[in-house]
Structure 1
């Protein structure tokens, strides 16, 4: 291109420089490269697992066998069998619908309630300890309770009951906590 003939330049050459605006994904990528706060990414979502009620279902099975045996002599006991199973299934459904959890790179969120819903957040950097509790039946079915101890004022101790793959989820929570502390440069001395 010659300076004496400015019309020889491609009309798109100047427009492409002026029209290039970074999209939001590029902005977030640039932010992450500088070590600044990027988007909050989901790591895990979960809720209550009905497998946690395996012990109760086992006991109900034994009670059903006993009621069938007793129902032979006193037939109205047969009515109790579907009633206890329906009550237990409704109980499990209510618990399952009543809780939801989500772990992100910066927060642990838990929702509770069926009719009215409450959502609470704990910053993962505020989590002090993650403990796994399992009984005999829990270990057999790989479920359990995670106890989170934090410096959060509303929930200094949070118990997540009926979590499937409980050890894996507890490790994810602990890893997210450590990653956020490393990112912010927060180090805790062992006492």
Structure 2
């Protein structure tokens, strides 16, 4: 069976096309409702309109969660920077650095910490995540923005990756596997309350599949 709107291969008993969302019950292959002219409310961070326009009518798109890279996710880097600083000072004291050598050591230490701070700022400003009832959206970049969208109905598996320290801080990464040809696997890094967010994504994809009458695979 093929979708009359996009020619995608579908199960014989499918009620909706899993690619374009067209209804198959009438046989007319109607497209999903057009997007509304207005954008959704600003996110928690107050960044203004989101990078997509939600649907309206029967396919109301609901914002479930939005987030960005957490500063706690760089705790390991901060610890490594502190250890490096202590080692550099101890080595300098034991080796009896000259004033010139101390200047070089201090410059290296400053560069390390400046690099860590700049990396954190870049990750927090350039990575933003949005989960709606129908899509997971990943926005990245500062001057040039790139936006990737994965339909929740296409998400096949949701996994959580955490180290020992990350478990204590309730942060980590979420790995998504999907049937989307352009994004078969995607890693969402530096997420606070990571297990709750992973559960939200899993519930969203299950609910959307039930809504469209698709079989939900056990994961």
| TM-score range for the pair, normalised by the shorter chain length | 0.7 to 0.9
Match of 1:85 in 2: 113
Tell me the equivalent position of 2:157.
Answer: 129
Contact 1:71 1:78 in 2 (8 A): no
Match of 1:102 in 2: 130
- How far is the alpha carbon of 1:79 from its aligned partner? 2.3
- Are 1:141 and 2:169 an aligned pair? yes
Q: Is the 8 A contact 1:42 1:105 kept in 2?
A: yes
Distance 1:50 1:57 in 2: 10
Q: Which has the higher contact order (CA 8 A, sep 6+)?
A: 1
Task: From 125, 132, 146, give the equivalent of 1:118.
Answer: 146
The answer as to 2:82 corresponding to 1:61 is yes
Tell me the CA shift for residue 67 of structure 1.
Answer: 1.8
Report the Cα offset of residue 112 of structure 1.
1.4
- CA deviations 1:58-82 (Å, max 9, x no partner) are 1111111112223443222122222
**Which structure is higher in helix share?**
1
Given that 1:52 and 1:144 are in contact with CA atoms closer than 8 Å, whether structure 2 keeps it comes out as yes
Give the alignment of 1:1-191 within 5 angstroms. Answer: 37-72=58-93, 73-74=96-97, 75-76=102-103, 77-188=105-216
* Cα displacement string for residues 80-130 of structure 1 (whole angstroms, at most 9, x for unaligned residues): 222210011101211222211100011111111222111111110110000
Count residues with an aligned counterpart: 157
- Structure with max Cα Rg: 1
Change (3 A) 1:189 1:136: closer
Question: Quick one: distance in 1 between partners of 2:150 and 2:117?
Answer: 31
Give me the whole-angstrom Cα distance separating, in 2, the residues matched to 1:166 and 1:67. 35
After TM superposition, the score normalised by the length of structure 1 is 0.76
